[in-house]
A = this chain, B = another copy of it.
Amino acid sequence: MTEKMIYSFGAGQTDGSADMRNLLGGKGANLAEMASLDIPVPPGFTITTQVCVDYLKQNDFPEGLWEGVKEQMAWLEDAMGAQFGGDENPLLVSVRSGARDSMPGMMDTVLNLGMNDKTVAALEKKSGSRRFAYDSYRRFINMFGNVVLEMDHHDFESKIEAMKQRKGAASDLDLTADDLAELVDEYAALVKEKTGSGFPQDPYEQLRLAIEAVFNSWNNDRAFTYRRLYHIPHDWGTAVNVQCMVYGNMGEDCGTGVAFSRNPATGEDALYGEILFNAQGEDVVAGIRTPEPIVSLKEKMPECYAEFESITEKLEAHYKDMQDMEFTIQNGRLFMLQTRSGKRTAAAAVRIAIQLVSEGVIDRRTALKMVDPDSLDQLLHPTIDAEEELKVVATGLAASPGAAVGRVVFSAADAVERAEAGDPVILVRQETSPEDINGMNVSQGILTARGGLTSHAAVVARQMGKCCVTGCSALNVRADEKVMRVNGETVLEGDFISLNGTSGEVILGEAKLKQPELSGDFATLMEWADEIRTLGVRANADTVTDSETAIKFGCEGIGLCRTEHMFFEGERIDYVRAMILASTEEGRRDALDHLLPMQREDFIGIFEVMKERPVTIRLLDPPLHEFLPKTEEDMEHVARLLGVGLDTVRNATEATEEQNPMLGHRGCRLVVTYPEIAEMQVRAIIEAACEMKSRGVDVLPEIMIPLTSGVREWAFNRDIVYDIAQKVIEEKGVTPRYLTGTMIEIPRACLRAGEIADSAEFFSFGTNDLTQLVYGLSRDDAGWFLPKYIEKDLIPRDPFVAVDREGVGEMVKIGIERGRARRENLEVGICGEHGGEPTSVEFCHMMKMDYVSCAPYRAPIARLAAAQATVTHGSYQTVEIH
């Protein structure tokens, strides 16, 4: 007994449901669910994703599948009173992919399947329209030829273009029934020419080939790229939906459309969508014709519109989320073809989530989980400054909000090339297609001449959080010549333009951008996130400005203040160099004496902003050669300035050069050789803390030793901190709070964490370096070959973006377990760039860390991700800071 391979839906025989998404795919599960809700759905059946996986493994239909398909076809014939391949009332079906997660346009679809030279006549008879019958047939041959027989779409296109010219037809609609019949013959001849055999006339052969083609499309390049970009596992497989055809192109009382139950760009609670009358569905999605707004339906077919509205409400109430629906009207009768949670901009996601809570549909915890934390990045990005005078040359559809400034490119390949060279680019296309996905990914924004708000460009751009303007018909794009003309202006490749994704404006030159507002719904959501989350969020901030931004973005402290950045400013670098060039401890101390008051003022400035909040200050970390001049000219300058010989500078520069600086003389290793550097820094910190305490502000510096690898090295550093701190406290007669702890960024430190925690009051995991060491991979050097690893699916994600839980994660786990086993109230955080990446934040929550620290403007992302982690995994007790 094998598992059930096929599930039916509609016509009173539905055995699937929405919660079977993994098995039936999103589309199949929702068709079953809609059918159960008595929503009009053309009947059909779904072949499970498991069957696809099995098929791809054995490259053949599993046993019993084909018999099952034939049984289902018999049921459909029965239900519809039609015959598959029949010459009276022929049954036509669509064969569509449908994965667990939506992958719009990535996999294959065949419509009108079942047509052949015999059924076309029957269809003519039944529909009463010879034109409709042959139009359907020529569409079918084209699609089947392209998808199943792997023929080039353009070969069909050139036939129809040639005919249109020959017949003097402006559009497809101007071709007559006879023209189309002639075209069918030409298409059939083309198939014979390209494939060596005639177009398959047996509908069951068509069906079998189409099902196989959909299975195989799971592994096409587009789909593979898409999954890689959106972290969808490659072993899920797609379901196949075989469904009775309904037609939106049988006349003026027909149409097809796509709609959202709320506005996916703004979140506004109003039906939002488009309809193409007398057209098939693929015309909408492909953006070939620009559709009309959904309100047109209200005017033309008010009853249909009312029914659609009521179905929309029913679906949204049922799914408790904004829906993205496809529908077709055949001779005035409405059929729902698909419903799913609608993709939306971050702004819309936030607004919808808040609205659904206020409508009582969902609770706050659910609302928090409805917003993708990464997408908040869109809201945190700048917009175009309205104060400035702009050279707006055209306006298109505001398909995805935000603003973008970049150099124009006309192909995805050029986009990738220029972006890799470091240029910001804007991809300008007649219309985009799934092949453009890589180019869109590297662009600041996307501009298209054709296509609506639900065209490929618009859907993908919104999901990517990129600014996008579509359907800008004023554009005359000549991709082959790398030029576009727009209202008399000529824009060449490389020229700067700006896009306003909120207004749809296209602007010549570089517009000035404005910082985002973080109020309203956004602020409400953040408030809810803060109420629920366990994990603290701190910022990586080195300056007073950073600190102010950190507070604005809701950070509860500074998790990483890098003191080395302070060493480059103004005259400081001269003293730093003098320190490095000194050959004696005395010489180094002289130079450090000059740096002391400056460092102290740095810390006072930061403390003034952060007040009682914790400020984790990392002692000097980078190798000393980073501070030395590299060019001959700079060396001469430094030699003159410091009054030393050029040789002294050159020798010092050469002497500090390293084969592998990442593994070299840095971090606390500097302290072992030159304790006086740490002594100065600790003195500056504690003197600043004393000063603040004298002013009545009880600041909380957390002094952090970088690059610890073992307990004795740690103790050596810790003793220096303690001794100097005690000395300053005695001198000043003031006792400020302070903690002493260490970065855990070396695998050995994770292993020896127990001993280290005996005297360390906090750990901060430096997962950037830890990742480099656990993987033996240099972040600086891996840039060009890591993509090959992702391309070949040898690693799941770039480990420098999201914490590698299987490797780096286990080391972190070991470090925390051993540390806390020896010191129950050990404060634990993370301060790499992972601290602002949602899956990494979730991992930190699972590790029961006390906080994450990230770039200030990623803090809202971390706050939301932390709240979601609490919803998913529950809360825990964090450490009370003394």
Contacts and interface: CB of A to CB of B under 8 A. Distances in A.
A15 to B, nearest CB: 38
Contacts of A808: 748
Nearest to A804: B748
Contacts of A662: 659-660, 663, 776, 778
On chain A, which size bracket covers the interface? 35 or more
Interface stretch (A198-206, A306-314, A790-798, A824-832): A790-798
Contacts of A707: 776
Contacts of A782: 663-665
A665 B785 contact: yes
A163 interface: no
Interface stretch (A118-126, A252-260, A576-584, A710-718): A710-718
B773 A716 contact: no
Contact of A659 (B746, B748, B778, B789): B778
Contacts of A780: 658-660
Chief secondary structure at chain A's binding surface: helix
A772 B673 contact: no
Contact of A792 (B672, B747, B769): B672
Given A745-B776, A788-B672, A716 B794 contact: yes
A777 interface: yes
B713 A789 contact: yes
Contacts of A769: 776
Nearest to A807: B748
A660 B716 CA distance: 28
A806 interface: yes
Nearest to A707: B776
A752 B746 CA distance: 18
Most buried by B among A710, A713, A794: A794
A709 interface: yes
Given A673-B788, A792-B716, A709 B659 contact: no
Nearest to A716: B794
A751 interface: yes
A811 B781 contact: no
> What copy number does this chain have within its complex?
2
A775 interface: yes
Interface string A629-659: 0000000000000000000000000000011
A707 to B, nearest CB: 7
A362 interface: no
Contacts of A773: 747, 773-774, 776
A810 interface: yes
A659 B661 contact: yes
B672 A746 contact: no
A751 B810 contact: yes
Given A662-B663, A669-B785, A807 B710 contact: yes
A776 B706 CA distance: 12
A276 B21 CA distance: 98
A511 B665 CA distance: 41
B672 A806 contact: no
Interface string A682-720: 000000000000000000000000010110110010000
Interface in A187-240: none
A713 B776 CA distance: 14
A752 B806 contact: yes
A209 to B, nearest CB: 31
A709 B672 contact: no
A774 B747 CA distance: 5
Contacts of A804: 748
A576 B873 CA distance: 54
A774 B794 contact: no
B746 A775 contact: yes
B712 A794 contact: yes
Contacts of A777: 663, 709
Contacts of A792: 672, 716
A748 B772 contact: no
A672 B775 CA distance: 15
B793 A775 contact: no
Nearest to A776: B746
Contacts of A665: 781-782, 784-785
Interface string A737-771: 00000000111100110000000000000000100
A663 B788 contact: no
A768 to B, nearest CB: 12
Nearest to A713: B794
A491 B640 CA distance: 45
Contacts of A774: 746-748, 751, 773
Contacts of A746: 774-776
A348 B713 CA distance: 41
Given A659-B780, A672-B792, 7 more contacts: A659-B662, A659-B781, A660-B661, A663-B782, A665-B782, A665-B784, A716-B792
16 contacts: A659-B661, A659-B662, A659-B778, A660-B663, A663-B663, A663-B776, A663-B777, A663-B778, A663-B781, A672-B788, A745-B776, A746-B775, A747-B747, A747-B773, A747-B776, A773-B776
